[in-house]
Structure formats: structure tokens, C-alpha cells
Amino acid sequence: MEAVRGAENFPPAANNPVQFFTRNVVGSMDYTPVSLEVGTKEASVAHEVALPVLYESGWTHFADRPEAYERFPEALRYLNQVPTAWDETRVLGGDPSDHAVVARRSGDRWFVGAVAAGDPRTLRAPLGFLGGGQWLVEVVRDGVGRGDVRRDARIVRSSAALEVAVRRDGGFAAVICPYLPGMLTCERPVVPVPATTLAGTPSGVVDAAKGWTVTGAPVGRRALRPGETLTGRWTVRVGDGSPVGPVDVPVFAEFRAPGHARVHVE
């Protein structure tokens, strides 16, 4: 699933349309997009923000530090809305030599990612894939210099097209949702995972090496308040004839954060 020279290799912006039409045309691609403060900074900020929509990956790993995204709050605002999986994909235009435009749907929202390589131009995204009625479109485009992106909104029908002027090696991103009177944004609430630490000494051991034994009752709690700890005690005995040297002792835990499915951690 790697099989690509991703952002950690500091590729030129000219590579980005090529990857979409070649390596990423079938199957996931772990490119590590959105380099805001690392790398060559050749691609514009809006170009980088569009990459996690343009590129499909089963698990997208962003390339920069959390502090970098905090310094670009409007970019982070958009990235926080990008889903981890897609229901439908439409290629809206492009050429491997210089640009790519794609729309991907998650539920009733569409996300558009558009990037260009080379001279400034106008990128176009026809909206004929949308259904009837009115749609709210929020476009994220480059601001002044290499600063945070800018956002503008409009109400359109499927007969329209997005036309966005981009700078050299620029791009844009957009989110589109069915419009209802009074709507101002397509954003949905983001349920954050609470800050959590999990430590074992060794607690919750359920899988020991061959010939070893573990004694002690499982420990569980229906709910834990923030800052509360859960502890237990187990005894691990080394088996007869155990090999000399390091031996892994796996520690397992399961928990569920509010609004999330159950998580299994080893």
C-alpha cells in the first residue's frame, strides 16, 4: 500500500497530479499529505489542503506537526471535516502533466480537491454530479503569501461550475452540502477523542508466552471519569525451559470514548 514516494521524500509539486492519475487510480496510497511548514513549501497551502481529498488512503497520515496545523486555523477547520472513507468518487477534470480535480462523496456531502502544477491558472470543477435543488458550497483558497487559507461560500445548482483562480503550484478545496434556508456552513460537529493515557505494569495481560502462566482476575469499569485511573494486579510466572532473552508480554485493554465505537488496544 505504500509504493509511492510520499511527502517524506520532499517531492516537487509537479508530481502531485501524476500520482492521482497513476499510482492512486486503483487502491490506497499512503502519501502523507498536507505539508505546511515542512518540505520544500513549493505547493501552496490550499494545494496541500486539497491533497487528502484528491488522494485516497485507507488511513491518511498528515505530514506536519500538530503545532503547524494550529498556526493555520482555517486550514485545520477544513481538514477536521474531511472523512476517513468515501462512498463515491467523480473525476471532474485534469491531465497528469499539470492539474487534477476530483469530487468525493461521504453521506450527503461532497468534497472537492483540485491541484495545479506550474503557472497560475483557473481550475474548473463542473457540478453536474450534484442532484436537484440548491447546494451550499464552501471554497477554501489561498490567501496572501504563504499564510492561512481563505474561505468563501455560495449557493449553487448542479448546472453551475466552480471556477477558482489559483497561483503557481496552487489549488483549492471545497465542501458541498444540500442547502436549507438559513444555512451558513456545511460543517458537522467534530467529536474529539478525549486526552487519554494507558499504562500497564503489566496489567490486563491475557496472552503470555508458551509455557508461561498468568494469574489474577480481569479488571473492568463501566465508566471512568477524566483523570480517574483503573489498576489491577497480576502474577506472571516464567515457564520451565523458557528461552533466554527478551520476551514480549502483550497487554490488552478495551475502552469506548463517548460517540465512538469500542477500541481494542494492545
pLDDT tens string 38-48: 989 999 999 99
The DSSP output letter for 7 is G
**pLDDT at res. 246:** 74
More confident residue, 244 or 263: 244
C-alpha angle 12/78/173, rounded to 5°? 50
pLDDT bin (cut points 50, 70, 90) of residue 67 is very high
263 band by pLDDT with thresholds 50, 70 and 90: low
Query: Comparing C-alpha atoms, which of 104, 89, 95, 88 is closest to residue 173?
Result: 104
Residue 162's CB is within 10 A of a number of other CB atoms, namely 21
pLDDT for residue 229: 85
* Percent with pLDDT over 70 in the chain: 89
Does the pLDDT of residue 181 top 60, yes or no? yes
Residue 196 is predicted with a pLDDT of: 61
**Closest C-alpha among 36, 16, 14, 191 to residue 102:** 16
- As a whole number, mean pLDDT of residues 117-142 equals 96
Asked if residue 203 has pLDDT above 50, the reply is: no
Distance CA 163, CA 150 (A): 15
**Edge-to-edge, what's the strand order for the sheet holding 171-178?**
88-95, 99-106, 109-116, 171-178, 135-141, 150-156
Q: Output the pTM of the full model.
A: 0.73
Average pLDDT over residues 17-30: 90
- Please give the mean pLDDT across all residues of the chain: 87
Sequence spans of domains, the chain = 7-178, 192-266
User: CA–CA separation, 141 vs 5, rounded Å?
Assistant: 26
Select from 152, 10, 166, 19 the least CA-distant residue to 78. Answer: 152
Q: What is the pLDDT of residue 227?
A: 80
Identity of residue 209: A
Element (H, E) at 121: strand 121-126
pLDDT of 209: 66
pLDDT tops 70 at residue 206: no
More confident residue, 221 or 88: 88
Q: How far apart are CA 19 and CA 234, in angstroms?
A: 51
Kindly tell me if the per-residue pLDDT of 32 is higher than 80: yes
The fraction of the chain above a pLDDT of 90, given in percent, is: 60
**pLDDT over 50 (residue 204):** no
- What is the arithmetic mean of pLDDT over 228-239? 83
Q: Per-residue confidence at 195, pLDDT binned at 50, 70, 90?
A: low
Q: Is 123 left (phi over 0), alpha (psi -120 to 50) or beta?
A: beta
pLDDT of residue 207: 54
Is the separation of the CB atoms in 111 and 104 below 8 Å? Answer: yes
* 248 vs 89: which has the higher pLDDT: 89
- Tell me which amino acid residue 16 is: N
Residue 226 confidence (pLDDT): 80
Q: Are 106 and 98 in contact (CB under 8 A)?
A: no
The pLDDT value given to residue 245 = 74
Is it the case that residue 165 has pLDDT exceeding 80? Answer: yes
pLDDT level of residue 208 (50, 70, 90 thresholds)? low
Q: What is the DSSP letter of 16?
A: H
CA nearest 3: which of 30, 26, 39? 30
Return the CATH class of domain 7-178: alpha beta
